[in-house]
Amino acid sequence: MNRAPGTPVRSRRLWAGAFVSALALALPLAGAGQASAADVNNAKNAGFEAGLSNWTCSANSGTTVSSPVHGGTAALKATPAGQDNARCSQTVAVQPNSTYRLSGWVQGGYAYLGVTGTGTTDVSTWTPDSGSWKQLSTSFSTGSSTTSVTVYTHGWYGQAAYHVDDLSVFGPDGGGGGEEEPTVPGTPGGLSVSGTTSSSVSLAWNTVSGATGYTVYRDGTKVTAVSGTSATVTGLAADTSYSFQVTATNAAGESPKSTAVTARTKQKDDGGGSGDLPKHAVTGYWQNFDNGAAVQRVSDVQNAYDIIAVAFADATGTPGAVTFNLDSAGLNGYTVDQFKADIRTKQAAGKKVIISVGGEKGTVSVNDSASATNFANSVYALMQEYGFDGVDIDLENGLNATYMTQALRSLSAKAGPDMILTMAPQTIDMQSTSGSYFRTALNVKDILTVVNMQYYNSGSMLGCDGKVYSQGSVDFLTALACIQLEGGLDPSQVGLGLPASTRGAGSGYVSPSVVNNALDCLTKGTSCGSFKPSRTYPDLRGAMTWSTNWDATAGNAWSNAVGPHVHALP
């Protein structure tokens, strides 16, 4: 969030938009073909069980590791550095005039899989989002004189290491000593319930060797198919018991169903910090400082806002600890007693008032157990002192998923199940489930109220369909929201964060009508742009704005238009 008006777009955000644009334009995605019953895997050492035998990695970038692995006991780990993209390749014997299916399991953002030397059209595929093992797959045909091709993987310059396992080049035997086609995988074990909300159940199970995917059944009916070893089944009734099973699949078929587990969804008000919030809610940030926007007291905040995030708590000299200092001088003599009384008045009217930690200039750091404890204790002390209903995480300079998760769970244990927990990550923070912000949100999903991603100050970004969308369009809002909605968050935990006016952010302002169109597109499938979600999300939480002060400066145009629209959603 911006403390000052007209804050310029930071260079790293421009880089992120240009970076993903370049990636999306550079590599077209190809569809996967099907192998016949007589096909073999022509790749050698496809599971890296023999180290890097048969593989060559640029600049000594590759090694084999025992964890994480998709199958067997080893996997490739390759690390880009400087001008090297950590390319690992193998020459594979093939037959001319034949069709092959190339696939592999990857983990880590910006991992590529491709083939050259086909004699026809070389192909490749990639993913920006693989926090867990994810299968990449494409197909290619060989030319009339092609007897070998080069299969390769690589990462991207300046990015973290990526992992590859169980690579395959299925098709006619090229004479290179290929491996036989897999048999039907075994039944998954270890199925367990990892979390519940009033409308969803999260499941996890053990990896099955040779499996390329898994199918989840609810009460005997198939409900979803995934590539990893976890899934969240949504759209469930509150306070209801369900039975779940899972099977493992590959090209050879589907395993028998696992032992069933039973899970009961929570009551409508249990967990998630929703309390007595409306189904669709509007969040607004209230500025505890004067930066040229209208100076408000909490009592002045427009009635359309259901959650009022007080911006911001301040870091102390103790690692992880925060405090709050009311800017009485900057707010025309607003006293602490008046501030506390106004919070109580808003709460009596059914509103939630929370303390926001971070902001553009925030320096709070939670990176070990001690600082996590300090964070939880200090935020809880502020909740006790001022009557805050919860906390908002708006750390724009990075966070540690492990220790922020620890801090928030500790805080929730102190504050109880009605605690409101919101987050306001930047767009780049929610591009991948492997990112620390996204992982934190998923880690605390059972106590999370809403993630209001900031759709501003970002430049262009990837949508869930792999296409690049420009900031400021209805497609930008819907295609990026889709990443969160399909990445594991419940629709009730997703909100759209936009500036209230052109002065509220350096870039990314859209008219309230665009916000409303995006809300309708996501919840009802209407008013979409070129991107239309494959399904609707009627439980979408709502929208957020920076800030109630900039909204007031612009004559409350944002809250007067978006507020009633949010509250009228299905």
Residue 313 in tokens: 């708590």
**Paired tokens of 522:** 């996501």
Cα–Cα distance, 263 to 399 (Å, whole number): 32
Closest CA to 19 of 131, 107, 126: 126
The gap between the terminal CA atoms of the chain, to the nearest Å, is 29
Beta strands in 360-510 (DSSP E): 390-395, 420-423, 450-454, 461-462, 468-469, 494-499
The DSSP annotation for 260-313 comes to: PEEEEPPPTTSSTT-TT--SSEEEEEEESS-SSSPP--GGGS-TT-SEEEEEEE
Q: Which two tokens stand for residue 315?
A: 């870091």
Question: DSSP class of residue 109?
Answer: S
Contacts of 129 (CB under 8 A, 6+ apart): 109, 431, 432, 433, 434, 483, 487
Burial of 384 (0-12, 13-18, 19+ CB in 10 A): exposed
Q: How far is CA 550 from the centre of its chain?
A: 28
The label of the residue with tokens 């504050």 reads 415
The pair of structure tokens assigned to 112 is 């590529």
Is the distance from CB of 359 to CB of 311 less than 8 angstroms? yes
Q: Report how far residue 53's alpha carbon sits from residue 90's, in angstroms, rounded to the nearest whole number.
A: 10
Do residues 100 and 171 lie in contact, with contact meaning Cβ atoms separated by under 8 Å? yes
Give the C-alpha separation, 11 to 63, whole Å: 34
| The one-letter amino acid at 451 | V
Please write down the long-range contacts of 121-124, taking CB distance under 8 Å and 24 or more positions apart.
123/30, 124/27, 124/28, 124/30
**The two three-digit tokens of residue 393, written as one number:** 């995480």
Could you give phi then psi for residue 375, rounded to 5 degrees? -60, -50
Annotated catalytic residue 396 = yes
What proportions of the chain, in percent to the nearest 5, are helix, strand and coil? 25, 30, 50
Residues contacting 402, CB < 8 A, separation 6+: none
DSSP 8-class letter at 84: B
Q: How far, in Å, are 50, 65, 67, 68, 322 from residue 73 at the CA level?
A: 10, 8, 8, 9, 45
Instruction: Assess contact for 175 and 198: CB atoms under 8 A.
Output: no
Question: Which of 181, 360, 385, 396 is an active site residue?
Answer: 396
Q: What is the number of other CB atoms lying within 10 angstroms of the CB of residue 233?
A: 19
Catalytic residues: 396
